[in-house]
Structures are given as C-alpha cells and as structure tokens.
C-alpha cells in the first residue's frame, strides 16, 4: 500500500506524527493509500521554512514571478492526463470532469501571469504643494489555504497561484481524502522554477487546522468547505488577528419559468444536479418550476432522462455520466437524507437508493434520486445533501419563486431559465445570491472575475480568484512624499490639508 507524504522545502517528506488516514478508491471501496496527519510541530517546520524563503521571493519583480506561472501552465497541460487519472482514482469523478477540475485551476494560473499589471499601485502627482502620493501592494508574508476533497486540483490552484505570484509563501492543507493531486501540483510548481520552501503541502485533519489558525507567523487563511467549519475557521482566525476568507455550503436553486425551453432546462438540470455525483458547491439541488403546468411538463421530461443516466467507475471513460461519492460515510449520510424526504412526505419519483453495480458492489455508489412536491420545511431542502439528489419545489408564480430563493439561508449560486429578458434582468438584479446564471445552470465565473457567495455561503469581504485574490493576498501601503526647496517652514499644529 502506498504511503503518502508531505511536501516541505521542495521535496516529499514522511510524516512524523505517527497518525495516518486511509485514502479510498471510491469505485471499489478499497484502501489505496495512507496519508500522514501532521501535528503542530510538523506545521512549525513548514512555516519556518516558508518564512525564511519568502523575503527573497517577495524581492523578485512581479514579471519574474509571473514567468513561473507561465511555465506552470505549460506543465499542467503536459501532465493533464496524469493529473486527471490520479484525481479520478481518489475522488471518483469521471475523467472528463477531472480534466475540467484541472483546467479551471489552470485558468487561474493563466490569469496570474498578468501579475505585473494587477500589482501596479497608484500615483498622484502634486497631491499638494510639492507633494506626491503613491500606493504600492506588498505581500502579506506566509499565508495558508485549507481546501476540500471535491476539487483537489482547482481550489488549491485558486488559492496558491494568486498567493505565490503576489510574493507570499503558501502553506496548503488539502483534504486528506484526495491528497495525491496537491502533491503533484507542488512538484510541478517546483519544476516550473518556484524556489524551494515557498509552497508547502501539509496533510492533516483538525489538529493541523487548529495549528494553522493559532500560528503567529501565518498572516492569512483561505478556506473552502462546509458552512460550520467555515464559521469556525473565520471566527477563530479573525480572533487570532489574521486576514480570513471562508467559503461554505450551498443550496442552489434553478427557477424554470413557463416560457423556458424545457428541453434545454432538463439537460441543464441533469448536468448541474448529477455531475460529479452532486459533490459540487455549485451543483443545482433544487428545481423551482413556476406553475403546475410547468412542473408537470418538467417532471415528465426529467424522469426518463434521469433514469437513463449511466453510473459507474471512472475507468469506463465516456460510457459513464457520474461516479461514486467520496466515502462510505458520505453515502450513508446521503441515503439517510433521502429516507428523511420519504418520511416527511416528499414524492420520491426516481429512487436510486438500491443502486448496485456488478463487480463494484463495495463501491460508494448512490443512484440518482429525484423528489417532487418538496417543501422548505423538509430536511432534504434545508440541508446541503452533496449527493446525486434533485428536489422539485413548486412555485405558484414568479414572485413565489423569487421569495423562495431569497429566503434560503445560503446564497452561493442560482439560475433562471426563461426566454423573457425583463424577467431575467429583474431576477438577476433583485436576488440576494452571489453568482447568478441566466439560462446557465452552473454560473461559475471565469478566472478574471471573482467567485463568491453571499449569506451563509461565504465569510469575509473578498472573493476567490480574479482581482479580489490580488487584494486579499496583498496589503496596501501609501506613501506621501515631499522634497521641499527654499525657506524652512515652522511647525504646523493643525491637521495637514492639501488645499
């Protein structure tokens, strides 16, 4: 059995704590590796190495740092298939989806090549008599990212690429459920020319998370995961004096208006609801048809489409639409929520609870499920299921649909399908959700915009990637400069003004 490592000071190193966690192949249920779980002493070593390496890196001009990103992008393209295979083996998602995971991270690395422009400050000539004023963006020092299992390539790159190109050193604590790809990314970054010590990968659980929060030399933390953990890290990190951004759970709705192209809406719902077995924070988990006629027509089209979905291991390639969920614990939780939906009175019209795949009976597979007549009081509506389960919540009219989405405590993403521009514009303007799709089911912004939800989906003032990332990973220094000539001036006791 493979024993995974940490990545410290440019090389893989064995864990010292004596604690390990099993890494599973979700398709077979077999343990494929063990990953070490770091303790506070191991984190200290990683942070100390990063702290020593960071000043040299910060002193390099942004163009030199951007060249590392250019080479990193080339290496990602070279090793795309290798990365996708390792990702699929530990996560369970299809190879096509795994490649999409890598590409979405690669796009952020491409955006970071523009660091020389994005890090430019501002200058005001003659802000006052013989006074010039200018600002500069400077790195924070050592920063950390805590990333989830469901995007083991994309989200680490969303964090580490902007942090590094801004001149910081970065400590990555990836999910212990899918540790291979983050280690591979660190090795590629080193091959791209990143000096040793600037990117450290420290595997672990809550022990190392708490150590990150408490460490005095870590200036900022970025996190993606569940809302309770996001609240925990945000609260304790802020109390420790750190800059913190935390992204939590979601309950993403798709409103289907009576004038929508139902065939397009069905395909969008199926892809957004069941892709990656629903293990996406931007998955559509709630369909909101407006009017009973729309609901009945949608239901009639959804049932055969969902029943035709192909579930299987990633090794089946293009023959599979979705794979297993990540662990048996996740599978049992999803099935428990499906049972609660039945108990609480929802109509389970596509039942995937008893799905079994010949030859993979021990895999963590859950068949696609579809509920109708779900109400907001039910557990399957209130909780983020993070599995292949879609719920239909019927709305009497557009305003009922708007109130339903607006009243949900999460505010990550939402979508509306309609042919009416006025309705779409009104929805996008009024809805209190961070990312909105108009006839787009998963409205994940491209790398040069920012990604972030509202309400219980996000904690902190700045979003991920795009210009916000450069603001998060730097601090602004403003210099007021005067080079006087002529007669000396006496002391001024009033507050200075530039008039």
| Secondary structure of residue 31 in the 3-state scheme | strand
Known catalytic residue at 281: yes
* Listed residue (420, 457, 452) closest to 439, CA to CA: 420
Hey, what are 57's tokens?
A: 């890196």
pLDDT at site 337: 98
Distances from the Cα of 490 to the Cα of 271, 332, 493, angstroms: 72, 77, 10
Q: What share of the chain is helix, strand, coil (3-state, %, to 5)?
A: 40, 25, 35
Give pLDDT, residue 130.
Answer: 84
Q: Is 362 left (phi over 0), alpha (psi -120 to 50) or beta?
A: alpha
Question: How high is the pLDDT of residue 499?
Answer: 64
Are 376 and 393 spatial neighbours (Cβ–Cβ below 8 Å)? yes
User: For the chain, what is the radius of gyration of the CA atoms?
Assistant: 25
The secondary structure element, H or E, covering residue 416 is: strand 413-417
The secondary structure of residue 395, as a DSSP letter, is: B
Residue 253 phi/psi, 5-degree rounding, is -105, 150
Which long-range contacts does 392-395 make (Cβ < 8 Å, 24+ apart)?
Answer: 392/286, 392/287, 392/288, 392/289, 392/295, 392/298, 392/299, 393/253, 393/286, 393/287, 393/288, 394/288, 394/289, 394/292, 394/295, 395/255, 395/288, 395/289, 395/290, 395/291
SS3 41: helix
- Those residues of the chain that have pLDDT short of 70 are 486-487, 499
Where b means 16+ CB within 10 Å and e means fewer, 173-189 reads bbbbbbbbbbbbbbbbb
- Burial category of 29 from C-beta neighbours within 10 Å (exposed 0-12, middle 13-18, buried 19 and up): middle
Boundaries of CATH 3.40.309.10 in the chain? 252-438
Which residues touch 486 (CB under 8 Å, ≥6 apart)? Answer: none
Q: What pairing do the DSSP bridges indicate for beta strands 454-455 and 369-372?
A: unpaired
For residue 133, give the nearest of 475, 474, 482, 471 by alpha carbon. 482
Decide if 419 contacts 256 (C-beta within 8 A): no
Q: Would you state the pLDDT for residue 485?
A: 76
Q: 2-248+457-479 belongs to which homologous superfamily?
A: Aldehyde Dehydrogenase; Chain A, domain 1 (3.40.605.10)
Paired tokens of 83: 């990365």
Q: Which residues pair with 370 in a beta bridge?
A: 350, 390
Range list for CATH 3.40.605.10 in the chain: 2-248+457-479
pLDDT at 483: 85
Going through 257-368 in order, the beta strands assigned E by DSSP cover: 284-289, 347-350
Q: Which CATH architecture has domain 252-438?
A: 3-Layer(aba) Sandwich (3.40)
CA angle 357-363-365, nearest 5°?
Answer: 65
């Amino acid at each position: 059995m493979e024993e995974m490592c940490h990545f410290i000071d440019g090389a893989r190193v064995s864990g010292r704590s004596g604690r390990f966690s099993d890494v599973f192949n979700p398709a077979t249920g077999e343990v494929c590796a063990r990953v070490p779980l770091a303790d506070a002493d191991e984190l200290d070593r990683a942070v100390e190495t990063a702290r020593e390496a960071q000043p040299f890196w910060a002193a390099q001009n942004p163009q030199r740092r951007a060249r590392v990103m250019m080479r990193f992008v080339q290496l990602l393209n070279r090793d795309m298939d290798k990365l996708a295979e390792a990702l699929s083996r530990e996560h369970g998602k299809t190879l096509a989806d795994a490649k999409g995971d890598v590409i979405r991270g690669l796009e952020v690395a491409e955006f970071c090549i523009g660091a020389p422009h994005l890090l430019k400050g501002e200058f005001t000539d003659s802000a006052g008599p013989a006074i010039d004023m200018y600002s500069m963006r400077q790195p924070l020092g050592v920063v950390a990212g805590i990333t989830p299992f469901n995007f083991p390539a994309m989200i680490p790159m969303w964090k580490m690429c902007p942090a590094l190109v801004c001149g910081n050193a970065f400590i990555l604590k990836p999910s212990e459920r899918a540790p291979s790809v983050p280690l591979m990314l660190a090795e590629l970054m080193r091959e791209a020319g990143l000096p040793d010590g600037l990117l450290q990968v420290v595997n672990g659980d809550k022990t190392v998370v708490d150590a990150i929060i408490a460490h005095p030399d870590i200036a900022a933390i970025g996190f993606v995961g569940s809302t309770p953990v996001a609240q925990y890290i945000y609260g304790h990190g802020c109390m420790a004096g750190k800059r913190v951004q935390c992204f939590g759970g979601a309950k993403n709705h798709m409103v289907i208006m009576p004038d929508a192209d139902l065939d397009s809406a069905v395909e969008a719902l199926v892809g957004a609801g069941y892709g990656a077995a629903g293990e996406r924070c931007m998955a559509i988990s709630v369909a909101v048809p407006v009017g009973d006629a729309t609901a009945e027509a949608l239901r009639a089209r959804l049932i055969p489409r969902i029943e035709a979905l192909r579930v299987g291991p990633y090794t089946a390639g293009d023959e599979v639409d979705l794979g297993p969920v990540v662990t048996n614990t996740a599978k049992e939780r999803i099935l428990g929520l499906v049972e609660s939906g039945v108990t609480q009175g929802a109509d389970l019209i596509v039942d995937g609870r008893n799905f079994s795949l010949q030859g993979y009976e021990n895999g963590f597979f859950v068949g696609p499920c579809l509920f109708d007549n779900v109400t907001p009081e039910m557990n399957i509506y209130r909780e983020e299921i993070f599995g292949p389960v879609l719920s239909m919540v019927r709305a009497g009219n557009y305003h009922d649909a708007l109130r339903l989405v607006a009243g949900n405590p999460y505010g990550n993403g939402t979508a509306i399908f309609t042919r009416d521009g006025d309705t779409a514009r009104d929805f996008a303007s009024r809805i209190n959700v961070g990312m909105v799709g108009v006839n787009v089911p998963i409205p994940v912004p491209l790398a040069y915009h920012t990604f972030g939800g509202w309400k219980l989906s996000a904690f902190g003032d700045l979003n991920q990637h795009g210009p916000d990332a450069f603001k998060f990973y730097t601090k602004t220094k403003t210099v007021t400069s005067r080079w006087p000539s002529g007669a000396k001036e006496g002391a001024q006791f009033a507050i200075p003004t530039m008039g």
